[in-house]
Each structure stands twice: as structure tokens, then as C-alpha cells.
Amino acid sequence: MCIKDNRPFSIVDDEGFREFVWELNPQFKIISRWTVARDCLSIYEQEVEKIKDMLHGQTVCLTTDTWTSVQNINYMCLTAHWIDDDWVLQKKILNFCPIENHRGDTIGSLVYDCIQKWGIEIVFTITVDNASSNDGAIRYSKRMLKGPNDILDCKYLHLRCCAHIINLVVRDGLEEQFDSVTRIRNAVTYVRSSPARYKTFEDCIARVEIKCKQKPSLDVDTRWNSTYLMLETAIKYENAFERLYTIDPSYGAYFRTEADTDLEGCTRKRKRKPKVVGAPSGVDWEAARNLIEYLKIFFDVTIKISGSKYVTSNIFFF
């Protein structure tokens, strides 16, 4: 139960859990948290041996990703994919651990240590995203993996994550419509920022007779797929937003702010975006309609990638 449901070992000490077990069977003797921990570790060790047996003699494709958590801790995940003797594609997470830094040699060294630990003899590809540090990780891995068991002298070891490439393409496309997207995002933020504002917006929806049941959704500007979902829903309420501008003075005033043009001295990568002023206009809504046709293609492709058994990086956007 602790493993399947990700419960703490200390659940066996909780009063409610003990009462629940007693109601089921008063004679059942509840074990201690230490016994639970020991049993879970024993199960883990048994599963490790099973996976090692499965990996023995297999040609394996690896996928790795590193990131930094909100606690400023660096993590790395390593996943193995291979086709077993029954021609079934297998996928197992081999390692999920803290990593010292994101330098290429550090990543490559940890990947190679995992390969050694799991007894993997033949590595076909290593899938990574397009971070420059991963180029160093692949160079390190090539040096370590070259030998009697390498495939084509590790020429095709480096496989770039298609999901990450799609992400880069779409984010560049979104830059072309930054102002329109930002105005619509600001409009959605306004109506979702308080119950009173949303009640006024609901009155506008009823007045213009929009039948959609979905609420305008806020996006996360670092996740383009959420921006697509925000735009797809928001354009259904275009007439309601236009009516809101007419009847709610606060809505119009919300957008009347000074543009931030102090961009001198900023590098291209770290340039701060200027504040976009004004409520969404007809031009913005038309731009959004054109944009979501473009985004839908990539959104559907990403769904197929992340929901399939394709060998890709762990960079998905959900």
C-alpha cells in the first residue's frame, strides 16, 4: 500500500488508520513503521534483481533529463527502453537522484555509473534535450562506451528529444504574436482574479448568449500548451469580453498602464518584455484564431508523443 499509493511508512502509527484496521479485523496486529520500511526495501531489492535479469544481453536505449527543483536541488532521471524477447517494448526508470550540477561530464559520469550498476552491456542511443551541457554528456558517454559492444562506433548514440524540439519551435512562433497573446492573458487574469469580477463577466456571458460551459483558463507562460488551451477557450468568450469593456469601467482601467520601455543594457536572452497596454481588440482575437490553428497541430503531436511508447526525453508539458 505504501509503495502503490505513495504513503509514508508512518501511516501505521496514525490513529485513524489503526481504527480502520481494527474495524476490519480486531485481531490483526499492526506492524511498526520500521518493519514497513524494511519490507519495502526488500521488495525494491527483489525488483532490482528482476530488472537486471531483464536487461541482461539486451540492446538498450536510454533517456535522461536533469532539472532544478523549487528547493534549488538538481535532479536527474534515467529511463531505459528496450524490446524484449517477445517483441514487447519495455520501459523502466533506472535512476531518479540528486546530481551535483548540470555540467556535461557530471551528467555523463552519472549515466555511465548507472549503466555499470545495472549491468547494461549494449547502449544504442541516449536521448537528451538540446541543452548545450548534454553535448558534453554525450561526448563523455561515447568515450566510455566505445569498445567491443558499441554499435557503429557510437556514431548514432546522440538522439535529440523531438518533444523538446517541438517546444522550441512553438515558443518561437508564440513570440510573433506576443502582444495579442499577452492582452488576452491579461483579460482572462482580470475576470479570474476575484469572484465579483467573474460574476460581472458571467452576466455578460448570459447577455450575449454564449452557451460554452468551460471557464476561461489561466495559462502558465512557460508552458505553451497551457497557452493554447487558454486561447482556445478565451476566443469563445470574445463577445463577452467586448461587452465587459463597455459596462465595467474597472476592466478598461485595468489595461491603462505605462509601457515599460527601459530595455537598454539587457542581453537578448534576458531582455525583459515591455508591458502590453490595452484590452484585446478585434485584431488580437483574429490573431488568436489564426494562432490556435497553428498550435493545435503541435498540441496534437505532443499528445501523441507523450501518450505513446516513443523513446523521447522526459520533457513533456503537462
Q: What is the pLDDT of residues 72-105, one digit of tens each?
A: 899 999 999 999 889 999 999 999 999 999 999 9
Altogether, the residues listed in the chain come to a count of 318
Scan for cell 456571458, then name that residue: 205
Q: Which of 130, 83, 136 is nearest to 108 (CA)?
A: 136
Scan for cell 463577466, then name that residue: 201
Residues 6+ positions from 237 with CB-CB distance below 8 Å: 201, 205, 210, 212, 216
Residues 6+ positions from 111 with CB-CB distance below 8 Å: 62, 64, 78, 126, 137, 141
Q: Which of 22, 20, 17, 19 is nearest to 7 (CA)?
A: 17
* Percentage of the chain lying above the pLDDT 70 cut: 88
- Residue pair 208/243 in contact by the 8 Å Cβ criterion: yes
pLDDT tens digits for range 23-45: 999 999 999 999 999 999 999 99
pLDDT at 78: 95
pLDDT tens digits for range 254-272: 876 543 434 333 333 434 4
User: Percentages helix, strand, coil for the chain, rounded to the nearest 5?
Assistant: 55, 15, 35
Q: Report all structural domains of the chain as residue ranges with CATH numbers, in order of start.
A: 56-160 (3.30.420), 168-260+270-306 (no CATH)
Query: What's the alpha-carbon Rg for the chain, to the nearest Å?
Result: 26
Query: For all residues of the chain together, what is the average pLDDT?
Result: 85
Alpha-carbon span 127 to 218, nearest angstrom: 32
C-beta atoms surrounding 184 within 10 Å: 27
Scan for cell 522550441, then name that residue: 168
Q: What is the mean pLDDT of residues 184-200?
A: 91
C-beta atoms surrounding 308 within 10 Å: 10
* 135 has a pLDDT exceeding 50: yes
Residue 312: which H helix or E strand, with range?
none
Q: What is the mean pLDDT of residues 177-204?
A: 90
Cell numbers of 284, please?
Answer: 488580437
SS3 84: coil
pLDDT at 275: 64
Least confident of 21-25, 35-39, 292-296, 308-312: 308-312
C-beta atoms surrounding 74 within 10 Å: 16
